[in-house]
Structure 1
Amino acid sequence: MQFKMIQPDDWHLHVRSGAALKSIIGMTAAQMGRAIIMPNLNPPVTNALQACTYKEEILSALPKGSKFNPLMVLYLTDNTTPKDIQEAIDNSVVAAKLYPAGVTTNSDSGVTNIAKLYPTLESMQKLDIPLLVHGEVTRAEVDIFDCEAVFIDEVLNQVVSDFPELKIVFEHITTKDAVDFVLASHHKIAATITPHHLLLNRNDMLMGGIKPHYFCLPVLKRKNPHQLALLDVVTSGNSKFFLGTDSAPHTKANKESACGCAGIFTAHCAIELYAMVFECQNSIDKLEGFASKFGADFYNLPYNIQTITLKKQDWTVPESYPFAYSDIVPFMATKTLSWKLIGS
């Protein structure tokens, strides 16, 4: 069994820089036509010049003949101005990213108080540039499993109310609370969902010993109601939800340390993972919309001209891949997947 579909896009991706970038970018380029590139480098991509420089680095690292198109994003800080947004748009930056300060990898330069950004958000609303949101609060007294729900209550509801025409992507959602929020919101509010949040829940990460390669932020949640809500909505055909892997590469040593970093690497088999999810939900016919159409529609971009072909075929994910001057443990390492990308 095999089927052909429009080449998908990844609307949330980390590719790092330097030798790390060169070692992994080909994996995404083999699957995706485009990807929204996260700007949380060290230092972060906070202006148009840095975004252009980063894009050139990505393009130069691609395999020869690749048509992959990286879509660049501005990293918002307390000091980002409307002028910064205009300059970013003038240089083909497609969105701006809100990281609450300290929420995840390389987010220390993020926003400390959303109110400081209101003039900038007003400019983004007028210019129709999407706000991409890592939707979690960072206060220590809030339980880590509740950070997304609290963010909706304390921040996102107010932003949507104050900027009713602002396009917002609620990224890598993990809870029924987030699903319900997006469903109840107007058409300019959308969300991305990762393969690992569809395939795993917190038991997978914690039962039988802590599994550092399943640790990500936002952290995995309960199966019921959260994982089940994600599964239901991605296979429903609702166009407000689309593919965003949040593939986040870290070395094996940094993951398996006394303070392992957050991030799951899925770029090596992203579309195969989603195919497994949709097949298990008896909704393989809904995969193309989720993976190849809905995100492009939201960003007002054409569908990819190229196609890919997936085949029902067992294969085993390698134990590791080379990564810069070290190695990386991929998601589903040593496990058997039931779909294989066989061509484009």
Structure 2
Amino acid sequence: MTSITLRRPDDMHLHLRDGAMLEAVLPESARHFARAIVMPNLVPPVVTAAQAAAYRDRILAALPEGMAFEPLMTLYLTETTDPEDVAAAAAGGLVRAVKLYPAGATTNSQSGVRDFDRVCGVLERMAAIGLPLCVHGEVTDPAVDIFDREAVFIDRVLDPVRRATPGLRVVLEHVTTAEGVAYVQEGGDTLAGTITTHHLILNRNHILAGGIRPHDYCLPVAKRETHRLALRAAAVSGDPRFFLGTDSAPHPDPLKEHACGCAGCFTATNTMALLAHVFEEEGALGRLEGFTSLNGAAFYRLAPNEGRIALERTGEPARWPEKITTGAGPVTVFNPGFPVYWQVKD
């Protein structure tokens, strides 16, 4: 196959940041994606409907003329989140999900949840109205090895929360382990999982073997090769419970190439080309549209996009910029470490 046409895809987990960074990275997503679930972990975080509306307005104001893109807003769950504010934001179509960050788990998560008993009321209200909970699935217990934090979170936190809140619709975001894949597969129709582009490509050797590669460092961190292969199998399986959430997360290079570097891979620029490469390797190009354009929309109860994008296989490796320039500093585009022969047609 040398070309493929898909419904315009959705990114069901995206970091757009704010200010100068937002202005630079938004076109990289809007070029290919029609919609995105936008993460609320700004400083300060987006915790109320009014803040979500203001952030949406800033996103739309930064969208270049001639580009079409719909930001699907989320609220940042805290121990003081008002269930009625959440319900009102959802009823008005402003907010499509609420994001749970365990406090200290990742970038700008300090305001997240420590005592899960204190958010039961919000979760019960969300279950009643069908509003999804997006979960960063890692414990922050320092006694738990960083490579085990997803599996431990499922056992200690996620499964008890779901059992205590029947009907709560949950997205386990950026699944990175075989245990996470199995849990989603066994979770019924109220549970789904997003998979990132970079976790389909990286294992932990890519970050650590032969020298530390800060631009491959992300959270949840890439795991063993067996886990990467489990993610690939899930992504290409056609199982509607799995869909794309890039977790594209821009940081200026000085903050990545740092003694305590930030976590995140910036993949917005080249995700579709990389996914075509991966799905071709797995003999599953015919299932790429489901993963990128149909499954996520169905879980979030959205109509599939009417627009189309086309990808073509070329004789020469695709090219994309090594970095993009932003007012907050240069941002390195994710490098898979191998040639890619797919590109989105202009």
Normalising by structure 1, what TM-score? 0.97
Deviations 1:273-313 (A, max 9, x none): 11111011010111000100000000110000100010112
Q: Residue 67 of structure 1: CA displacement?
A: 1.6
Equivalence map 1:176-191=2 (5 Å): 176-191=178-193
1:138 maps to which residue? 140
Matches of 1:198 and 1:13, distance apart in 2: 17
Matches of 2:292 and 2:163, distance apart in 1: 29
Matches of 2:154 and 2:197, distance apart in 1: 22
Matches of 1:263 and 1:169, distance apart in 2: 19
Identity percentage over the alignment?
A: 48
Aligned residue for 2:95, secondary structure, equals coil
Matches of 1:290 and 1:154, distance apart in 2: 29
Matches of 1:60 and 1:334, distance apart in 2: 35
| Aligned with 1:327 (options 303, 307, 330) | 330
Pick closer, same or farther for the CA change 1:223–1:333 going to 2, 3 Å: closer
Q: Residue 87 of structure 1: CA displacement?
A: 2.6
Aligned residue for 1:274, secondary structure, equals helix
**Is the contact made by 2:279 and 2:288 (CA closer than 8 Å) also made in structure 1?**
yes
Q: Residue 334 of structure 1: CA displacement?
A: 8.2
Report the AA paired with residue 222 of structure 1. Answer: R
**Is the contact made by 2:147 and 2:223 (CA closer than 8 Å) also made in structure 1?**
yes
1:243 maps to which residue? 244
1:45 maps to which residue? 46
**Is the contact made by 1:74 and 1:88 (CA closer than 8 Å) also made in structure 2?**
no
Matches of 1:146 and 1:259, distance apart in 2: 21
Report the AA paired with residue 115 of structure 2. Answer: N
Residue 15 in 1 paired to residue 16 in 2?
A: yes
Matches of 1:81 and 1:108, distance apart in 2: 19
Report the AA paired with residue 339 of structure 2. Answer: T
Q: Residue 335 of structure 1: CA displacement?
A: 5.7
Q: Residue 37 of structure 1: CA displacement?
A: 0.2
Between the two proteins, the alignment pairs up a number of residues equal to: 342
2:229 maps to which residue? 228
1:174 maps to which residue? 176
1:102 maps to which residue? 104
2:288 maps to which residue? 287
Matches of 2:251 and 2:177, distance apart in 1: 25
Deviations 1:211-245 (A, max 9, x none): 00000000000001x11110111111000000100
Deviations 1:195-218 (A, max 9, x none): 110011001111000100000000
Matches of 2:35 and 2:306, distance apart in 1: 12
Report the AA paired with residue 155 of structure 1. Answer: V
Normalising by structure 2, what TM-score? 0.97
Aligned residue for 2:345, secondary structure, equals strand
1:267 maps to which residue? 268
Matches of 2:286 and 2:83, distance apart in 1: 42
**Is the contact made by 1:75 and 1:98 (CA closer than 8 Å) also made in structure 2?**
yes
Report the AA paired with residue 149 of structure 1. Answer: A
2:206 maps to which residue? 204
**Is the contact made by 2:252 and 2:328 (CA closer than 8 Å) also made in structure 1?**
no
Deviations 1:251-280 (A, max 9, x none): 010000110010000000111111111011
- What do you get for the CA RMSD once the two structures are aligned? 1.1
Deviations 1:12-57 (A, max 9, x none): 0001000110011001001101000000000000000000000010
Report the AA paired with residue 315 of structure 1. Answer: A
Report the AA paired with residue 198 of structure 1. Answer: L
1:26 maps to which residue? 27
Deviations 1:157-205 (A, max 9, x none): 1111111211000000000000010111111100000011001100111
Q: Residue 115 of structure 1: CA displacement?
A: 1.3
Structure 2 residue runs without a partner (length 5+) = none
